[in-house]
Amino acid sequence: MTKLSVNINKIATIRNARGGMIPNVVEAALNIEKYGAHGITVHPRPDGRHIRYSDVIDLKKVLSTEFNIEGYPQQDFLDLCFQVKPHQVTLVPDPPDVLTSNAGWDTIKNCDFLKEVVHALKAEGMRVSLFVGADVEMIENAVATGCDRVELYTESYASEYVQNREKAIAPFVEAAKAANRVGLGLNAGHDLSLENLKYFAQNIQGLLEVSIGHALISDALYYGLESTVKKYLDQLN
């Protein structure tokens, strides 16, 4: 079964809108684990507009499932990773001021930089995944960085799914084949939802993990958090 990692950034966004500790990010993460999710994902940014660095430290103390930290590899983010040592670090190419991740790495242009970062993280026992588009060349060249996995950026799949799901998924099928061929583990995330997740999981060979935040937390407003987590798990069965 493909593992479900729940991104809890949006829970922190609601908390930060009013200050204080409601909703409690740590409590929410523990409940998500209890409801059956296989992991927790966070994407802290330097401006602290959702998950804060202090949240990451607090979460590490209590989580029992896999902890995945996403972020752009600037020095303060790397220092946080070296302090917390999550199970997985997902490196994204977006600079700190963007609203949300909107592109994958150019693993050719950034190969030397990524190789250095990946080596440093892996030396401390962390698995490293690179956020990439559904681009066979970029996936094949990701091997040179020494990363363990790639995370497919699925925004284009999600946006095209309703119009033509076969066309939407076609480049991701080829991307998955490339990852499997070169020996990279395969994750995916961005705009996956109850509408499009099952079809994606059924057609992507070797899909190890999906990271889902915005859609899942939004669905929880209607279905409740426990029911929503279970609905997403059902899509992956």
What is the set of active-site residues? 43, 70, 190
Contacts of residue 109, defined as CB under 8 A and 6 or more positions apart, other chains included, come to none
Q: How many CB atoms lie within 10 A of CB 212?
A: 26
From CA 13, how far away is CA 56, in angstroms rounded? Answer: 14
Q: Are 91 and 111 in contact (CB under 8 A)?
A: no
Crossing angle for the helix pair 75-84 and 53-62, to the nearest 10 degrees: 20
- 5 forms beta bridges with 39, 211
Question: What are the CA-CA distances from residue 42 to residues 3, 29, 31, 64, 142 (Å)?
Answer: 16, 10, 15, 15, 23
What does residue 153 show for φ and ψ, rounded to 5 degrees?
A: -80, 110
From CA 115, how far away is CA 33, in angstroms rounded? Answer: 33
